[in-house]
Structure 1
């Protein structure tokens, strides 16, 4: 799980574009079949419609490699995305395009 979260963080950091935390979608809006899991098909169908700048990869969110994302994994991805956006706003160096 740690490797996937680190990979997700690296993608966000290297992209130099902050995620928009206020528009992070609800889990249920992506879990269209309502089974409590987001599978790769649901993700492919819905990820293009997300209103966040940096959409994580399905693999980065699937921390336990079960080919599905549960609500805990979704919450972890959201938290990481929001943390990145907050850190970006506070940045004083060039790693973030919105740095002071």
Structure 2
């Protein structure tokens, strides 16, 4: 639970811009060697494919700290970032640059 909260905090901290779920590439696009895990090097080389201003931190996505992001961790990060975006759009406070 603590790791999930830390991951959420890291994603929110690093997600100063609005991220759109459609901008997330398929897991396979970043898993260039096809082993079922996005390692840190693959992520760094292909993070530009996310097409969002502030990409999630690799360590925050790697919930089990095995130095790789599997498909479940990838989907969780995408869902969390998308959720943050929805909350940002609804915000009236200054924490979100796109607030009403």
- What displacement does 1:78 show? 0.1
Specify the alignment match of 1:77 in structure 2. Answer: 77
Specify the alignment match of 1:53 in structure 2. Answer: 53
Specify the alignment match of 2:10 in structure 1. Answer: 7
Looking at structure 1, the residues matched to 10 and 56 of structure 2 have their Cα atoms a distance apart, in angstroms, of 10
Looking at structure 1, the residues matched to 53 and 19 of structure 2 have their Cα atoms a distance apart, in angstroms, of 5
Specify the alignment match of 2:24 in structure 1. Answer: 24
- What displacement does 1:22 show? 2.0
SS at match of 1:9: helix
Looking at structure 2, the residues matched to 83 and 6 of structure 1 have their Cα atoms a distance apart, in angstroms, of 13
Looking at structure 1, the residues matched to 79 and 54 of structure 2 have their Cα atoms a distance apart, in angstroms, of 13
Normalised by the length of structure 1, the TM-score is 0.87
- Give the count of matched residue pairs: 97
Unpaired segments ≥5 residues, structure 1? none
Aligned-residue RMSD, C-alpha: 1.3
- What displacement does 1:32 show? 0.5
SS at match of 2:12: helix
Deviations 1:15-74 (A, max 9, x none): 3x2112221111010001111000011011101332122201111110110000000100
- Name whichever of 70-79 and 19-28 sits farther off: 19-28
Normalised by the length of structure 2, the TM-score is 0.87
Looking at structure 1, the residues matched to 70 and 8 of structure 2 have their Cα atoms a distance apart, in angstroms, of 15
